[in-house]
Amino acid sequence: MDLKGKRWAGISVFHDYSLPAPVNEPWSVNVERNLFRLLQAPSWSINNTANIPIQEFDIFVVPNFDIRDVDKQVDFIKRVKDAGKKVVVAYSQDSRFLTGAALICMETGTLYTAICEYADLIFAGLAENLHMFGRYEHKVFPFGYPFERLNYSRPYDQRAYDLLVATNGGTIDFGYSVELLLTLKDRFPSKRIVFSIDPALSHLYKRYSDKIEFIPGGLLTHLPLSKAFLDPQLRPRPNRSIHEAWMCRTPFISSSFCYYSKLFPGFNYSKMDMIDIGDKYELLQSLDYNLLIAEAEKIAEAEYFDNKYIELLKRLYPNQ
């Protein structure tokens, strides 16, 4: 199969039209930019599809980011399918599937799955315990954030933090995270447990600074310095933070709802239990770091984009 022979195009969430970034451009936090860069896919807004040269491309990626766009996306996909092209629908990795928000358009009654009827495949960065596509589950292609072969790690004995804890922006999980940190500090008083947080919340964390070490946000600054990572969330979802933890080869404790929780399967939690999370951290720190990373590398191999892309094309073109 000629991996370079398929021409991709995308529907962008962010702009009207854009050429893809150079394939060797450094990784960025912009997931869409990374994906279109790896696919070398030019992209257009769903509001600017009239002039897309559909015949010039083989496969279109259509993100379902806003439920209000689904009807327009369906109309566009029908045009693409009429031209004999392939369509991959991509669902953003947010908390919709755990909260139920934005899964139906309240103005039109359009369901989030309306777009799936016409898709050849569905990119879904959902963990194995989340099956959300009903009639179209057979089209699902498990795909998290584009996984590139990046390694920002440093030697274990040069890592200053025993445990780095981070949480969602704003105050959404702040109270829970603070109580969890206080619980962990009581249980592991000799460990250097730090909390990465937005400096704008300094008025909140000053009250606890005698017991908790707060450090300015910027995970990629702190993850290489950390022996372990925890991102507790009351509404867990497949999130970028554990992806970044892996890029720094920092073992993590995460919700089993996170797509990349599979990298460290012994350290997932399926219930919000602070004692259980503490137990997992106690186990994690007792194990050999190099063996943990070696086992995770074996799991990660199938997720790296170069391997995932081959699997993707085989699903799209099973007879070639």
- pLDDT class for 97, splitting at 50, 70, 90? low
Total number of residues shown for the chain: 320
pLDDT number for residue 83 = 96
Taking only the tens place, the pLDDT of each residue in 13-70 is 778 888 999 999 998 888 889 999 999 999 999 998 998 999 999 999 998 778 888 8
pLDDT at 1: 47
In contact, 219 and 213? CB cutoff 8 Å: no
More confident position, 198 or 31: 31
Question: Which residue did the predictor score with more confidence, 203 or 121?
Answer: 121
For 291-304, write each residue's pLDDT tens digit: 999 999 999 999 99
What's the pLDDT at 58? 96
* pLDDT for the residue 93: 58
Is 140 in a helix, a strand, or coil? strand
Predicted pLDDT of residue 131 = 86
- pLDDT tens column, 229-283: 998 876 655 568 889 999 999 999 998 888 889 999 999 988 889 999 999 999 9
Q: Is 94 exposed, middle or buried (0-12, 13-18, 19+ CB in 10 A)?
A: middle
The HSE-up count of residue 51 (CA atoms within 13 Å, CB side) is: 6
For the segment 79-108, the average pLDDT, to the nearest whole number, is 81
Write the single-letter amino acid at 72: K
Q: What is the mean pLDDT of residues 189-197?
A: 92
Instruction: Decide: 235 and 252 in contact? Cβ < 8 Å.
Output: no
Q: Which of 112, 45, 46, 104 lies closest to 76, judged by CA?
A: 46
CA nearest neighbour of 86 among 126, 50, 115, 57: 57
Give the CATH architecture of domain 156-299: 3-Layer(aba) Sandwich (3.40)
pLDDT computed for residue 101 by the predictor: 64
pTM of the predicted protein model: 0.88
Q: Is the pLDDT of residue 289 over 90?
A: yes
Same fold, 8-148+304-316 and 156-299: yes
Please name which of 162, 118, 154 lies closest in space to residue 139, comparing C-alpha atoms. 118
All structural domains of the chain with their residue ranges: 8-148+304-316, 156-299
Q: Using one digit for the tens of pLDDT, what is the confidence trace for 205-235?
A: 778 888 889 888 788 899 999 999 998 876 6
Beta-carbon contacts of 239 under 8 Å, excluding residues fewer than 6 positions away, are 93, 231, 233, 258
Q: Residue 185 CB: number of other CB atoms within 10 A? A: 17
Look at 94 and 40; give whichever has higher pLDDT: 40
Whether residue 2 has pLDDT greater than 60: no
Q: How far apart are CA 192 and CA 273, in angstroms?
A: 21
**Residue 20 phi, psi (nearest 5):** -70, 150
- Tens digit of pLDDT for each residue in 113-170? 999 999 999 988 877 778 889 999 999 998 888 889 999 999 999 999 999 998 665 5
How is domain 8-148+304-316 classified at the CATH fold level?
A: Rossmann fold (3.40.50)
